[in-house]
Amino acid sequence: MSKHHISLTVNGDPTEFLCETEQTLLDVLRDELGLTGSKEGCGSGDCGACSVRVDGRLVCACLVLGAELNGAAVETIEGVAKAGVLHPLQQVFLNEAALQCGICTPGIIVAAKALLEENADPSEEEIRFWLAGNLCRCTGYDKIVRAVQKAAAVMRSA
Amino acid sequence: MLTFNNPTTVEEAVALLQKTDSRQRVLAGGTDLLVQLRSGRIQAQGVVDLKRIPELRTIRTENGGFRIGAAVSGAELGEHPALSTMWPGVIEGARLIGSTQIQGRASLGGNVCNASPAADGVPGLIAAGATCTIVGPGGRRVVAVDAIAVSPGKTSLAPGEFVVDFFLPAQAAKGGDAYLRFIPRTEMDIAVVGAAVNLLLDASGVCTHARVALGAVAPRALLVEAASHALVGTRVEAAALEALAAAARAACAPINDKRGTIEFRTQVAGVLAKRAAIIAYERARSRA
């Protein structure tokens, strides 16, 4: 049986790929399109390391089939910096050392960006609730939460 | 290799499922299905994605209530203000399923048909008296939500059938619902016990109708009629709440597992039923 031919946009660029039904969006991003920023932590939707957006909606790329995506708009960590300039979230995460091993960071940046687009001034509780599906085994989360608050302040004053 | 189809009409989906026999799995949000396919817990020859069928993706008002497509995501449910206002308990249950990322995909249709006894979306639907439309080779039929799950992972759906939508009737002027669950942490866990209460009050604040549903205390979510009787004719005062809790505990037939013992689940079912009834009562009273 032939592979599925899918046309979509990835980070705004028209893109095509061939995939088998078994391949998830995460498999496609990493293995077919060479976009390895999204990480596989658990492969079962528990850890959030593969967080991406599909048609604006935050999802785990490991729980989406590539074959579903004809006509979709996918946004990944690779699309967060624009024209070589880091997004405020990325810059603040670096400045504040809100990461240690870094495996969870792409997913957290993508998820936090989605939060700040719908809530420019989230409380600590709102940030922790929104990011509850992004697991980090290094930081203990405090630096992450503070970095998101700081990035939100930077974005509000921009 | 799995086949993949994404029909755009219900009729096309029915024909596909009929032609390709029972080894096809329907895909809505995929937050259970994809995990189960990958782990080998279920085998399939193909996947039929239902999300291109507009009927399964929309929320419509109907006869004062709501018709909710089976593949509508939790996030979409939460973004519907009128639905959340009329049926806050149903939406609380649906919104408790998983993380922000899971909410972007997980559907009520999937939650009901995955047939987990601990499904957070199900007790609220049962308490609300929701029905669902099932379609298959024999046409369409409408059944109560509590008739879908049979036992863990098993539904009453015949081969080739799937759920098209749910119908939530209009909530009464003095009606209110609520859903609570117990988990040992604050978020992101599977219910040890879940309890939903939906009740109606008359002008003097006396309960005239009630439906109580429990999750995770039996092989499937239960509608507990004795618990409903404990509330009807009362102002949901202390004695009624004790009778409600006793009826809820009496209906429990849970298992011992790592999440909770039989004794704990039974005890907590009574506590949560009381607390959910108090919230539902306050909601009903506060309605104009």
The shortest C-alpha distance from B186 to chain A (Å) reads 10
CA nearest A27: which of A12, A7, A43? A43
CATH 3.30.390.50 maps onto chain B at: 175-286
Domains of chain A in sequence order: 4-79 (3.10.20.30), 88-157 (1.10.150.120)
Q: What is the DSSP letter of B43?
A: -
Which residue in A has a C-alpha nearest to residue B46's C-alpha? Answer: A21
CA nearest B91: which of B285, B288, B287, B283? B283
Joined tokens for residue A26? 């995460």
Specify whether the CB–CB gap between B17 and B26 falls below 8 A: yes
| Number of CB atoms found within 10 A of residue B98's CB | 26
Q: Is the pLDDT of residue A1 over 80?
A: no
How far apart, in whole angstroms, are the C-alpha atoms of residue A47 and residue B235? 45
How far apart, in whole angstroms, are the C-alpha atoms of residue B111 and residue B119? 6
Burial B190-228 (b: 16+ CB within 10 A, else e): ebbbbbbbbbbbeeeeebeebbbbbbbbbbbbbbbeebb
Q: Is the pLDDT of residue A87 over 90?
A: yes
Angle at A101 between CA A97 and CA A105, to 5 degrees: 70
pLDDT, averaged across chain A = 97
Residue B187 has what pLDDT? 82
B188:A133 CB<8 A: yes
CA nearest B97: which of A133, A95, A16? A133
Residue A12 has what pLDDT? 98
Across the interface, of B29, B39, B100, the residue whose CB is closest to A111 is: B100
The shortest C-alpha distance from A48 to chain B (Å) reads 7
Q: What is the DSSP letter of B257?
A: B
B27:A59 CB<8 A: no
Angle at B73 between CA A135 and CA A64, to 5 degrees: 60
User: Digits of tens for pLDDT over chain B (288 positions)?
Assistant: 899 999 999 999 999 998 876 689 999 999 999 999 999 999 899 999 999 999 999 999 999 999 999 999 999 999 999 999 999 999 999 999 999 999 999 999 999 999 999 999 999 999 999 999 999 999 999 999 999 999 999 999 999 999 999 999 999 999 999 999 999 988 889 999 999 999 999 999 999 999 999 999 999 999 999 999 999 999 999 999 999 999 999 999 999 999 999 999 999 999 999 999 999 999 999 986
CATH 3.30.465.10 maps onto chain B at: 3-168
* Bridging pattern class, strands B222-223 and B24-27: unpaired
Joined tokens for residue B35? 């995990």
Q: Report the number of secondary-structure helices (H) and strands (E) in chain B.
A: 11, 14
A133:B101 CB<8 A: yes
Report CA-CA distances (Å) from B110 to A107, B28, B56, B72, B228.
Answer: 25, 6, 12, 10, 27
B47:A62 CB<8 A: no
- pLDDT band, very low/low/confident/very high, at A143 (cuts 50, 70, 90): very high
B45 touches chain A (CB under 8 A): no
> Residues A62-72: pLDDT tens digits?
999 999 999 99
How far apart, in whole angstroms, are the C-alpha atoms of residue A93 and residue A91? 5
Residue B19 has what pLDDT? 82
Residue range B175-286 forms a domain whose CATH class is alpha beta
All residues of chain A having their beta carbon less than 8 Å from the beta carbon of residue B188 are 132-133
How far apart, in whole angstroms, are the C-alpha atoms of residue B115 and residue B118? 8
A22:B2 CB<8 A: yes
Q: Which residues pair with A51 in a beta bridge?
A: A60
Q: What integer is the mean pLDDT of A93-106?
A: 97
Q: What is the pTM of this model?
A: 0.96
Q: What integer is the mean pLDDT of A65-83?
A: 98
CATH fit for domain B3-168, picks 3.40.50.1970, 2.40.10.10, 3.30.465.10, 3.40.1000.10: 3.30.465.10
How far apart, in whole angstroms, are the C-alpha atoms of residue B74 and residue B61? 18
The predicted complex's ipTM stands at 0.96
Joined tokens for residue B197? 């209460």
